Structures are given as C-alpha cells and as structure tokens.
Amino acid sequence: MSTTTHLQAADDRRHALRPPIGRESLAFIVPLPDEELGLIAYTYVDHEDNAGTLIMVWGPDGLIVNERSPSEPATGLDFDDWRIGGLEVAHIDPLQRFTLRYDSDAVAFDLTAVARHRAYAYGEHRDGCPTWLADDRFEQHLDLEGTLRVGDREISLDGRPLFRDHSWGTRDWRGPQHWKWIHLSAGESSVHLMEVVHLGRRDIPGFVHRDGVTSGITSFTVDELEFGPDFVHTFMAATIVDEDGRETKVTSRPVVSTLFPAHEALRMNDSTVLCEIAGESGHGHVELLWDTPYAEYHASKG
C-alpha cells in the first residue's frame, strides 16, 4: 500500500537542471467535457534559466486559444510566486494547495486548487522514473474553486477536477516511441498512468486512488482501443491492477481533441474525455503520443 511518498515540500519548488536538455515544467489540465472544452496551462524553465508559458483552450472546431509567450529570463523566480508570460502560479501550501491566474482578451481564469490525495512521484514506482523523461516528476488530482472565461463565455469551475504534473531533469522529446498519458476522475476516485515505450522498454508509472487509498500501478492492459480521423482515439477500455491487488476497470471516450505542439516529429493527441472508473462516471484527459510518420501511415488507411 502506497501511503507515504519520498517527496518533500521543496519538490514543489524549482530544482537544479543540467545541460544540454535540462528542463522543469508545470502542466495544469482542466477537463470540461460537458462544456465541450479542454484547457491546458503549461509553463517551463530550462537549464539556462529561460522560461515561457503556453495556454491552450480547444473545442469541437479545434483550438480556440493558443497563446505562447516568448522566452524570458526567470532569474530570482520560484514556484511560490511564478510570473511568466502572464501566467501566475503560487504554490502557497506545497503539495497541497496553489493558485493559478491568467488574463487575456481570449481567456482568463482565477483558480484555487486543493489536493484530493497526496502527490504521486514516478520515483516511488517499483521501476522508478524513466531517466530520459525526468530526474523525477509527480502527478496529482485536485479540486477547484474559481472561474474560467473563454471569450464572452464564463464557466464556474467550483468542484471540478484539475490534473497537474511537475517534472524536472532531462526531457528528450524524441526519445519515446509511444506513450499514453492518462488522467481520470470519477467521484472520489482518481487514476493516473503513463504507459511509455522507449528503446523497446515499457514502463507504467502511475497510481489508483480509491476508498482513500493511493496505490502504485503494477499492471495495465488495454482491452479495447479504437481510432477515428487523424489517429485520435475514439474509445479506450483498460484493466489496471495496483500494489494492493485491486483490479480497476476504466474507460475513456473523447469529446474534444487537439494536438499539443511538443515537437514536429511527434503527434501528441490530447483529448478531453468522458470516463468511467470501476463503473462510476467522470471526466478526464488522455494524451496519446506517436511518431508522426507512424500516425500518418495509419491515419491514411482510414
């Protein structure tokens, strides 16, 4: 049973990074399938102290907001009071609570997020954190208070889930052959998994949080996986087993999808999904990464 973590409060702050591809990033995901919207707020800093921000909102007709800030120095800044590219992040209670703010003509949000469960670090998984991906990273589900404005449309986010990841160390975008980055929330239950294939090795760091217990994943089996246009998945069903021996059935069905612009050689399909965890309905986010020629080949087959 995973009841403790090797994370410290300092891990919600910045870390030392090494050249040539050292990078630290924060990603915040808000799934809104009932509104046919998805939101990503992403910010990073590299080993040379250059930082930037990307804000994306998408709907049925594709991207609604795609605001990328120019790189700027992050000297003296830390994640307790991070202000880069218009995004303000304040980890005011490390690993437990933070605020998130952004305001432009196209999109604005003012959010407070409170942890639903303890943060889960990939380093505590039985196989550790893949070294090409990060020195370490953690993922966490939180409950929101606040509002989102998209154009003239204002949406209350009170009680909705937010998914976050905090990663630091090496980031070799071209390293993986494939991954599934999955966040699902239903009632009081949460599931996170990153199935990743790199140089023929398969890793499955992640957790199941059910009945107040957070437990690392030991087995992940895809039972069904269907695709539509542009190689975006249209349905996925899987079976997960955790360290406590619990079997959890999950499903995801995308509502709206977009491409995350990580690297021109990669196709990263990000989807706001309706999901089920052990038969209970909820909301989630699923990202599938493929090599671009591979995805284009299969998409061309219809």
pLDDT in single tens digits along all 302 residues of the chain = 444 567 999 999 999 999 998 999 999 999 999 999 999 999 999 999 999 999 999 999 999 999 999 999 999 999 999 999 999 999 999 999 999 999 999 999 999 999 999 999 999 998 999 988 999 999 999 999 999 999 999 999 999 999 999 999 988 888 899 999 999 999 999 999 999 999 989 999 999 999 999 999 999 999 999 999 888 999 999 999 999 999 999 999 999 999 998 888 899 999 999 999 999 999 999 999 999 998 888 888 76
End-to-end CA distance of the chain: 44
Q: Is position 195 within any domain? A: yes
Model pLDDT, residue 231:
86
Report the alpha-carbon distance of residue 233 to residue 119 in Å, rounded. Answer: 28
Report the alpha-carbon distance of residue 60 to residue 82 in Å, rounded. Answer: 32
Model pLDDT, residue 170:
86
Q: How far is CA 247 from the centre of its chain?
A: 23
Domain that holds residue 174: 21-300
Q: Is position 74 within any domain? A: yes
Q: Is position 4 within any domain? A: no
Report the alpha-carbon distance of residue 248 to residue 184 in Å, rounded. Answer: 12
Name 106's Cβ contacts closer than 8 Å, sequence gap at least 6: 57, 64, 65, 67, 150, 151
Q: Give the domain CATH number at 82.
A: 2.40.370.10
Model pLDDT, residue 219:
98
Q: Is position 2 within any domain? A: no
H or E segment to which residue 298 belongs: helix 292-300
Model pLDDT, residue 213:
96
Q: Is position 215 within any domain? A: yes
Name 153's Cβ contacts closer than 8 Å, sequence gap at least 6: none
Strands 87-93 and 280-291 come out as unpaired
Report the alpha-carbon distance of residue 53 to residue 41 in Å, rounded. Answer: 7
Q: Is position 14 within any domain? A: no
Report the alpha-carbon distance of residue 130 to residue 144 in Å, rounded. Answer: 30
Model pLDDT, residue 3:
45
Report the alpha-carbon distance of residue 31 to residue 285 in Å, rounded. Answer: 6
**Domain count for the chain:** 1
Model pLDDT, residue 143:
98
Model pLDDT, residue 175:
86
Q: Is position 95 within any domain? A: yes
Model pLDDT, residue 5:
61
Q: Is position 6 within any domain? A: no
